[in-house]
Amino acid sequence: MSGDTPRRVVIVGGGLAGHTAAVTLRAAGYDGGITLLTAEPHPPYDRPPLSKELLAGTVDDTTLPTDLADLDVDLRLRCRALRLRPDAVESTGGAHRHDAVILATGSSPIGLAGASRAVHELRTVEDARRLRAALREADSVAVVGAGWVGNEVATRAAALNLKVTVVDAAPTPLARALPAALGEHLVPWFAAQGIDLRLRTLVDGVDERGVRLTDGGRVDADIVVTGIGARPDTGWLLGSGVPLSPDGAVEADATLRAGPGPVYAAGDIVRWPSRLFGARIRVEHWDHAAASARTAARNLLGHAEPYDPVPYFWSDQLGHRLQYVGHHHGADRLVLRGDPAGEDPWTALWFHGERLRAALAVDDPRGARDARRRIAEPDTRSR
Ligand SMILES: Cc1cc2nc3c(=O)[nH]c(=O)nc-3n(C[C@H](O)[C@H](O)[C@H](O)COP(=O)(O)OP(=O)(O)OC[C@H]3O[C@@H](n4cnc5c(N)ncnc54)[C@H](O)[C@@H]3O)c2cc1C
């Protein structure tokens, strides 16, 4: 630790990133004060199981294993940060003096315009429990958005024998994450699970009977779930001096520092300059939330490590395990290994010249592991 180690660190956001930042500070030997502010009424918990095991009913509690009290972390529940000042964070629970701050406020779901009845979103454990209870009572569900979370919800609902319809404006599923040439291979998976997938279909609104479509059609359903993306929860940072993009992301440097003072950012909210991919990138993934928080915490203590991971993401949906590694924007060639129409594992590989940039492995964990290693290889980087 350097001579100007802060005496009090305030971490804002009690998700995986905030939690990991606190654990990392202590693991690195930091013995000053740590305050962790979270707007939620629970200690930090994991979100990926919310749309998987928790909806399926095999898990009810996803609290992260390390007890922060044992680490002498002052955890403030139901405490929403309202303003960042150079010397303190103002919150609904008062002002918290700081010498350094880690920002980790994650994202909130984008709401669906034109809904005249309650729709389900899925971000918190309360959302997941509410949705699980509603699915048990329902016969039919309409899911708006064929993205990662929407497809996982549709998968669980179909497993409960509900009539499931997925509606998306895009021409292929997972359109924000994958090019159409790849997304089109996923289309038959929906029918195989008994799910009615309606692509190129725009929602006009939601009413008591279900979803109204702009073409005059309808999808009648007992419950409506939206999964149309999330936005960084950073409105409270406006005017603080922390650089924010129009999409709400915190713009950090290569060490995840985000501002003139000792302010670092981690998790869903942060965009950083990736040397590996030659671009500024932001990802909303579990692995990155933990890894960026570890780097931010160490750098706050005086290290100057660049953050330059190979992003990794997984999803269990429509009878398949999808694992994505890397960052395919800027790639010039997409190569398929295996047959997407067959039963066996297959992998899509993105190249820029000879260099592997990204891969999507379907039911192929070894393919994902190998690709991740190749993308990170130093000699690959220098090409
Ligand atoms: C249903 C679901 C399924 C997912 N499945 C996968 C998956 O299979 N694989 C994968 O890689 N990723 C998955 N993800 C994404 C992954 O969970 C997120 O990328 C990760 O949770 C981000 O962590 P975070 O700590 O940055 O933010 P969050 O987990 O969003 O935590 C941020 C915390 O900050 C709090 N907060 C916000 N504003 C304030 C404020 N002003 N003051 C105080 N506290 C505040 C929030 O209430 C929240 O508790 C999933 C996400 C969801 C929602």
pLDDT digit string, tens, across residues 70-127? 999 999 999 999 999 999 999 999 999 999 999 999 999 999 887 767 899 999 999 9
Domain termination residue (choose one: 272, 300, 328): 300
Does 179 share its domain with 48?
Answer: no
For residue 332, how far is its CA from the centre of ligand 1 (angstroms)? Answer: 32
The per-residue pLDDT for 11 is 98
Instruction: Check if the beta carbon of residue 251 is closer than 8 Å to that of residue 257.
Output: no
Instruction: Check if the beta carbon of residue 28 is closer than 8 Å to that of residue 294.
Output: no
For residue 106, how far is its CA from the centre of ligand 1 (angstroms)? Answer: 5
> 260 in a domain, yes or no?
yes
Confidence of residue 2 (pLDDT cuts 50, 70, 90): low
> 314 in a domain, yes or no?
no
* Cα(175)–Cα(148) distance, integer angstroms: 10
- Indicate if the pLDDT at residue 166 is higher than 90: yes
Instruction: Calculate the CA 134 to chain-centre distance.
Output: 24
The per-residue pLDDT for 381 is 44
> 313 in a domain, yes or no?
no
Average pLDDT for 186-202: 97
**What does the pLDDT look like over 68-79, one tens digit per residue?**
999 999 999 999
For residue 158, how far is its CA from the centre of ligand 1 (angstroms)? Answer: 25
* Cα(289)–Cα(15) distance, integer angstroms: 9
> 362 in a domain, yes or no?
yes
- Helix, strand, coil percent values for the chain (each to nearest 5): 25, 30, 45
Cα distances (angstroms) measured from residue 149 to each of 54, 81, 275, 318: 13, 27, 29, 12
Ligand 1 site, CB within 6 A: 12-18, 37-40, 47-48, 50-51, 80-81, 104-107, 122-123, 149, 233, 236, 267-268, 284-287, 289, 313-315
Does 185 share its domain with 273?
Answer: no
What CATH number has the domain bearing residue 132?
Answer: 3.50.50.60
The per-residue pLDDT for 259 is 85
For residue 206, how far is its CA from the centre of ligand 1 (angstroms)? Answer: 26
Q: What is the atom index within ligand 1 of the atom nearest the CA of 19?
A: 25
Name the residue of 83, 282, 286, 320 to mutate for ligand 1: max ligand atoms within 8 A of Cβ. Answer: 286
Residues in the chain: 383
- Indicate if the pLDDT at residue 3 is higher than 90: no
